[in-house]
Amino acid sequence: MTNSILVPVDLADLETSMEVLGTAVDQARNSNARLTVMTVVPDLMTGLDYRYAIRGETGGSADYDIKEIVSEALGRLNQVVSDATPEGMSVDTIARHGTVYEQILQVAEEIGADQIVIGAHRPQISDYLLGPNTARVVRHAKCSVNVVRI
């Protein structure tokens, strides 16, 4: 029995995210499970500027306010969830910053997720060599993972 479903979405790929979220909403309704939708702001190299990068240096010209970026991501996530879920459905939202797959696994453990519903594009050769976030979540999750192929 599924009591808690975690759905990581990529705000930069709303087409895929909406399909994955739709699948998770259906599963949550069918099993009367709590639904948590999350997004992750990936690590940014603060102020990385191509003038420094081409010399192999990590200096830069601008600083990023990660708290502000995460707050903006949460606002966008709340809007996406509001648009994609039925009226009256209770959904928790979380925005985190860090390594995508690590944050997904950490939140899954924190909320006691029974299942993670995550999207994946059809594999390309680079996916086999680099190991995308979805593959890492599947390998390391302590709960069931439903991969929605897009």
Residue that has been written with the tokens 């390998």 in this structure? 139
List, for residues 13-51, the tens digit of each pLDDT value.
888 899 999 999 999 999 999 999 999 998 765 555 444
Element (H, E) at 124: none
Write out the two tokens for 107: 């939140």
Residue 88 three-state SS: coil
For residues 135 and 147, what is the distance between their CA atoms, to the nearest angstrom?
A: 9
Residue that has been written with the tokens 């879920």 in this structure? 85
Other C-beta atoms lying within 10 Å of the C-beta of residue 104: 28
Give the range of the structural domain holding residue 34, as residue numbers without chain letter.
4-149
Residue that has been written with the tokens 């509001």 in this structure? 82
Residue that has been written with the tokens 């099993």 in this structure? 31
List, for residues 54-108, the tens digit of each pLDDT value.
445 555 545 667 889 899 999 999 999 999 999 989 999 999 999 999 999 999 9
| Percent of the residues in the chain that have a pLDDT greater than 90, as a whole number | 63
How much is the pLDDT for 47?
52
List, for residues 140-149, the tens digit of each pLDDT value.
999 999 999 8
CATH code of the domain in which 103 resides: 3.40.50.620
Tally of domains within the chain: 1
Question: Whole-angstrom distance between the N-terminal and C-terminal Cα of the chain?
Answer: 26
Residue that has been written with the tokens 């890492």 in this structure? 136
Is residue 130's pLDDT more than 70? no
Which of the 8 DSSP states describes residue 54?
T
